[in-house]
């Protein structure tokens, strides 16, 4: 059971070789200045896309000319969030799952699926990850949720209707949070702090996300 009152980090650790979207460059983190080699200070160079590890998608990720991640409203990332657990083994998260859980306007929803049982960030990319289908995305858009978070690298499926799912959500003003580690998080109500980096005009950004049971 998740302990109340304690902040829990649900962002995955960033490291060289971390699993990433196929076709994207492999993340690398290397010292370009090293005190062990006589330098005055240690300095690390980070090479990765904006969609590495736990990250947020900005509207301009799939909609040309729309808002970048630097325009992310801070209040959207801080406040009440609800963790919903999808039936074990289910790959498709459809409108039925959201309807059964009584999703309402203005909510921050975090989905715990079968992905959370795999420690996915320690393995190769899984093309069969659980995700939201087109009907689920449309339900969230109509319901008027504020933010949707998922426990893999994409809110939509790989090479299926993933792009459509993104566009439906982003067009409705829903901010997307991807790559969460919900392994030890029980379903229920939480306080959440989620802050992406303020990268001007970027289509996304890594984020640190913490939860506290209400």
**Which residues are known catalytic residues?**
61
User: Is 181 exposed, middle or buried (CB count within 10 Å of its CB: 0-12, 13-18, 19+)?
Assistant: buried
What is the C-alpha separation between 11 and 55, in angstroms, rounded? 8
What is the C-alpha separation between 126 and 144, in angstroms, rounded? 30
How far, CA to CA in Å, does 59 sit from each of 52, 77, 84, 120? Answer: 17, 15, 24, 26
H or E element, residue 45? strand 43-47
Determine the distance from the C-alpha atom of residue 56 to the mean position of all C-alpha atoms in its chain, rounded to a whole number. 6
Residue 177 dihedral angles phi and psi, to the nearest 5°? -120, 125
180 and 155 in contact (C-beta within 8 Å)?
A: no
Q: Computed from CA positions of residues 54, 160, 98, 108, in that sequence, does the dihedral angle turn out positive or negative?
A: positive
Q: Computed from CA positions of residues 148, 152, 153, 154, in that sequence, does the dihedral angle turn out positive or negative?
A: negative
């Amino acid at each position: 059971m998740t302990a109340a009152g304690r902040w829990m980090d649900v962002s995955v650790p960033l490291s060289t070789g971390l699993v990433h979207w196929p076709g994207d460059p492999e993340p690398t983190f290397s010292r370009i200045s090293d005190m062990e080699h006589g330098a005055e200070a240690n300095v690390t160079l980070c090479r990765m896309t904006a969609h590495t590890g736990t990250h947020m998608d900005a509207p301009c990720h799939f909609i040309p000319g729309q808002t970048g991640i630097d325009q992310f409203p801070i209040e959207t990332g801080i406040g009440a969030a609800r963790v919903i657990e999808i039936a074990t083994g289910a790959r498709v998260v459809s409108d039925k799952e959201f309807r059964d859980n009584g999703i309402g306007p203005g909510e921050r929803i975090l989905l715990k699926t079968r992905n959370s049982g795999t420690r996915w960030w320690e393995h190769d990319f899984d093309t069969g990850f659980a995700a939201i289908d087109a009907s689920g995305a449309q339900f969230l858009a109509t319901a008027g949720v504020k933010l949707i978070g998922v426990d893999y690298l994409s809110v939509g499926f790989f090479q299926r209707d993933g792009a459509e799912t993104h566009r439906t959500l982003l067009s409705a003003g829903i901010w997307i949070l991807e790559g969460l580690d919900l392994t030890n998080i029980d379903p229920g109500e939480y306080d959440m702090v989620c802050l992406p980096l303020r990268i001007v005009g970027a289509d996304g950004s890594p984020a640190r996300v913490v939860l506290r049971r209400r």
